[in-house]
Chains A and B, each alone.
Chain A
Amino acid sequence: MPKLAPLTKLILTAAVSVWALLIPTLTGQMALAAGQLLLLAFYRPTGKHWQAVSGLALFAALLAAIQYVFGSGLEFSLMSGLKMFVMSLVFVFMLATTRLQDLTAALVSQCRIPYEYAFMFTSALRFVPDFLEESQAVREAQACRGYVFRGNPLKRLMDYVAIVEPLVLRAVSRSETMAMSLELRGFGRKGRRQFTADVALSSPDYVAMIFMLVLTIGLAIV
């Protein structure tokens, strides 16, 4: 599978969202989902990424079920669920196959987004696994003090609220430390910034972009 540049993947992310809105049929949405899964499979993602896909699929099914229960038609409910699934699946593809520093470099050097904003976006993504790790640590601490992860969903939700506060406090503390560490290493300094990441476009990127453009125009006309 040819290596695509981060910019191409960013454009793909936007394009897939547009396609999901333009495709009017259930079969078309399913084909779009299948295409994305196939594309993801070509890049040999890890088990964690497939877990994320399973989570998204479950959430989409839940969304469709809720729509159906509250009076929407079956086809409309399935369409809503599928649209949510394909729009978020493309983010899993982008994050699974792109390094965050490459993404920052592409946002700054090719999309002309100010470095501070691009860094903020990619740092927020970087915090997700940290957050999950912290959450796991608090849950382990609770388990060691006799908490059993069982019971009705309301009890579980209330118990989860108990760990939100320490998680938020830790996130703030960690972001403060990170901010200081960044400033101590020249973050925010005026002048030219050098990226070591190679995010230049190559021929597979141009081919992919032409394909995306043609498909978008085609779907808009049809």
Chain B
Amino acid sequence: MPETLLNIQKLVFAYKNAGQTLAEVDFAVNTGEFVALVGRNGSGKTTLTRLAMALIKPASGTIYFQGKNTATMTPADMACGIGYVFQNPDRQIFRDTVAKEVAYGPQQLGFAPEAVNETVAWALSMTGLTELAGSFPRLLSRGQKQKVAIASAIAMQPKMLILDEPTSGQDPWDAQNLMELLTNLNQQGITIILVTHDMEIIAKYATRVAVLDRGHKVFDGTPSELFAGSHDIAAWGLLPPTAVALGQQLAGVNAQNETELVQQIMSIIKGRTGDYA
């Protein structure tokens, strides 16, 4: 039975001079899940993750992490369990080499110098940045900077990683690389919460999707359920992935991703070829 890692109950939040951003949201994440958090701009996705990280405090409601109420915790307390990767890597990199940047977290947690070096080496190797250990982070590409941010987060050995639109502004190759890295980390036991607008990524990598719309959680299930056609996802500001949209136009095809689409089309073609044989 998987452990509930993050448990958010009846969470309410409102920014000053703005309407309610989150309205009684319930959201739980179990160990090992790869959850995508989606919704149109301003739906409350980033706010929800910032609340989980204790960067801001809710108006009401409770957040439990590993069964502990986080009401009195600071982001520094949360950092032992959750690694947070901001949308813009430039805003979180502040040291002059990649290795020093990655070492910052373990140093703050009071790791011994040898343990810091070992952890940094491991985090750099996991993210494929070993060669760039001595580089000046600001001169790296956006994809590499995002990897530095992820290496910095996993160096703190968190149980969960929250990433706020990590693939935005990246070319398809970098984005795919990054998603493969996250899948690898997930397979090694790190729970992932991914804030994204990219439906292709959700269809391909996420095991669960939660949709926020105007501060309310309107859907929580698998990507297949979301794209099955029984929900008006356009009303939530979402578009189906290309494979799903194409499948919906073809009789007898109900694919949730590219692989399924190809398999189902091939199966139909083989069936028809068989009819003529």
Residues of chain A whose beta carbon lies under 8 Å from any beta carbon of chain B: 134, 137-138, 140-148, 162-163, 165-166, 169-170
Contacts and interface: CB of A to CB of B under 8 A. Distances in A.
B75 A162 contact: no
B108 A147 contact: yes
Contacts of A146: 76, 79-80, 105, 108-109, 156
A166 B84 CA distance: 19
Contacts of B93: 141, 166
Interface in B30-70: 53, 55
Contact of B75 (A134, A143, A163, A165): A143
B95 A143 contact: no
A144 B79 contact: yes
B79 A145 contact: yes
Contact residue range for chain B? Answer: 20 to 34
Interface of B: 53, 55, 74-76, 78-80, 83-84, 86, 90-96, 104-105, 108-109, 138, 152-153, 156
Contacts of A170: 90
Contacts, number: 60
A14 B109 CA distance: 51
Contacts of A134: 91
Contact of B91 (A141, A145, A147): A141
Task: Enumerate the 5 nearest inter-chain pairs by beta-carbon distance, A residue then B residue, closest first.
Answer: A146-B108, A141-B92, A143-B75, A145-B105, A137-B91
B95 A145 contact: no
B138 A145 contact: no
B72 to A, nearest CB: 14
A142 B109 CA distance: 12
A165 B74 contact: no
Contacts of B96: 165
B84 A144 contact: yes
Contacts of A137: 86, 91-92
A138 B92 contact: yes
A17 to B, nearest CB: 34
Contacts of B53: 144
A169 B136 CA distance: 12
B75 A144 contact: yes
B248 to A, nearest CB: 41
B152 A145 contact: yes
